[in-house]
């Protein structure tokens, strides 16, 4: 399947990602490529550290954090004061978990397709009264909405699930899940790590209470930073006990006698962030913003469809949903020994990863059809 005309979006952006010259990189769902813009951002951070010392905090770094919050807010149709910066999803969940009261409504509904850090959080809160309700997936692709409807009830305090599943690329109907949660009087928290950046996200339209995503993957920002959205009117109702001085209303008063929490989402920020990560993430977000998520979604869907066609052409059958409009970015290919295949592919200059029983392939807008073909050829070879 020759593709002589390079896609203009891909052709325009490829040189921004020098790592693409070093390998065929099909692993954005684990870690997005490092851009020149993020490298420049981290370099700028170092220069500021060198020349300003601690005053960089007040003069520059707090401003960079505010910029990053505002950029992420625009991306998901939220407001900057609804966004907190934290180091990982696990920490964001811990902060939210520490502000919930499980006494009247102990049940937390999650699915077996969610990233394990989601169920782990509520398992670890068993002593606080949390009871985990784990929904099964019949096909390892999706979890039927009816399962949520059946599970959510008067004992449910929280539905904590995912926007795009990390081992199937299935896009959950988070608006419908939030509706089910709210109708039962429960909150709805969504892990959007595999969604934000690669598909449009509108937290207001979906009416979710909490939405979390981060730099690592489709936002091209690297490790060390996640963004936590909490719905404006919910913020004053939550009083996290996992906390610190960044959560104080006036942190620079350094008042040890009185702890008044910030009225905005800063109350969910426990302490000093990894500032280099903020610079890298801000640069990644600026690229996403410049291209536009609709254009990214269209190009990535095109590459996914092309990859699937080529895999099938080579006699390989990926595990996919029937409804491809609900699929985003992650193509699972069941194989006998995925870890050996990933290793053999790495030796051939192809970077992918695996999850139990399957290879995980994730082209992004910066990949090409020629790379899809190289990936399929090498997979056929190593299998």
Binding site for ligand PLP (CB under 6 A): 88-90, 115, 117, 162, 166, 191, 193-194, 214, 216, 226
Smallest distance from the beta carbon of 238 to ligand PLP, in angstroms? 19
| Number of Cβ within a 10 Å radius of residue 136 | 11
For residues 17 and 165, which CB has a smaller minimum distance to ligand PLP in the complex? Answer: 165
Least separation in angstroms between CB 11 and ligand PLP = 29
As a whole number of angstroms, the distance between CA 295 and CA 170 comes to 19
217 or 310, CB closer to ligand PLP?
Answer: 217
Surface-to-core class of residue 199, CB atoms within 10 Å of its CB (0-12 exposed, 13-18 middle, 19+ buried): buried
d(CA 307, CA 330): 11
Angle formed by the axes of helices 62-75 and 275-291, nearest 10° = 40
Instruction: Tell me the C-alpha distance between 182 and 33, whole Å.
Output: 38
From the CB of 323, what's the least distance to ligand PLP, in Å? 20
Query: Which residue shows structure tokens 């699972």?
Result: 332
Q: How far apart are CA 344 and CA 341, in angstroms?
A: 5
Q: Is the dihedral of CA 123, 144, 327, 189 positive or negative?
A: negative
The nearer residue to ligand PLP, 106 or 214, going by C-beta atoms, is 214
Listed in sequence order, the DSSP H helices in 314-355 are 338-347
Smallest separation, CB 279 to ligand PLP (Å): 18
How near is the Cβ of 315 to ligand PLP at its closest, in Å?
29
Q: How far is the CB of 125 from ligand PLP (least distance, A)?
A: 16
- Is the CB of 80 or the CB of 90 nearer to ligand PLP? 90
What token pair was written down for 10? 């891909």
Nearer to ligand PLP, 56 or 171 (CB): 171
Nearer to ligand PLP, 108 or 376 (CB): 108
> Distance between CA 17 and CA 177 in Å, rounded?
37
Query: What tokens were used for 267?
Result: 């109350």
Q: Which of 48/94 has CB closer to ligand PLP?
A: 94
Give whichever of 56 and 328 is closer to ligand PLP, judged by the CB atom. Answer: 328
The minimum distance between CB 88 and ligand PLP, in angstroms, equals: 3
Compute how many other C-beta atoms are within 10 angstroms of the C-beta atom of residue 381.
11
Question: Distance between CA atoms of 224 and 191, rounded to whole angstroms?
Answer: 16
Q: Output the CA torsion 110→115→118→123 (10° steps).
A: 80
Q: How far is the CB of 117 from ligand PLP (least distance, A)?
A: 5
């Amino acid at each position: 399947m020759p593709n002589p005309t390079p896609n203009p979006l891909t052709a325009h952006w490829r040189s921004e990602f020098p790592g693409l010259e070093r390998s065929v990189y099909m692993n954005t769902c684990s870690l997005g490529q490092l851009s020149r813009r993020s490298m420049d951002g981290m370099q700028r951070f170092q220069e500021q550290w060198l020349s300003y010392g601690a005053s960089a905090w007040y003069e520059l770094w707090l401003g960079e954090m505010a910029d990053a919050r505002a950029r992420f807010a625009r991306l998901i149709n939220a407001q900057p004061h609804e966004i907190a910066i934290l180091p990982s999803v696990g920490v964001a969940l811990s902060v939210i978990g520490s502000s919930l009261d499980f006494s009247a409504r102990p049940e937390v509904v999650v699915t077996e397709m969610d990233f394990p850090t989601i169920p782990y959080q509520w398992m670890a809160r068993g002593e606080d009264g949390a009871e985990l309700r784990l929904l099964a997936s019949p096909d390892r692709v999706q979890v039927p909405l009816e399962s949520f409807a059946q599970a959510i009830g008067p004992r449910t305090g929280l539905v904590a699930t995912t926007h795009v599943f990390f081992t199937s690329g299935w896009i959950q109907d988070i608006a419908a899940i939030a509706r089910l949660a709210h109708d039962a009087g429960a909150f709805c928290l969504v892990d959007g790590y595999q969604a934000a950046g690669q598909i449009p996200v509108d937290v207001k339209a979906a009416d979710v209470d909490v939405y979390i995503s981060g730099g690592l993957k489709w936002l091209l920002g690297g490790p060390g930073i996640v963004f936590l959205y909490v719905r404006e009117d919910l913020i004053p109702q939550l009083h996290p006990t996992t906390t610190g001085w960044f959560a104080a209303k006036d942190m620079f008063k350094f008042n040890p006698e009185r702890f008044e929490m910030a009225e905005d989402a800063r109350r969910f920020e426990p302490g000093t962030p990894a500032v280099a990560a903020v610079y890298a993430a801000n640069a990644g977000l600026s690229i996403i913003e410049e291209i536009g998520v609709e254009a990214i979604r269209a190009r990535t869907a095109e590459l996914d469809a092309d990859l699937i066609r080529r895999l099938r052409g080579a006699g390989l059958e990926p595990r996919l949903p029937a409804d491809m409009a609900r699929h985003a970015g992650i193509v699972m290919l069941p194989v006998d020994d995925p870890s050996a295949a990933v290793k053999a592919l790495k030796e051939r200059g192809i970077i992918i990863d695996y999850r139990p029983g399957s290879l995980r392939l994730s082209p992004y807008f910066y990949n090409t059809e020629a790379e899809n073909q190289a990936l399929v050829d090498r997979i056929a070879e190593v299998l």
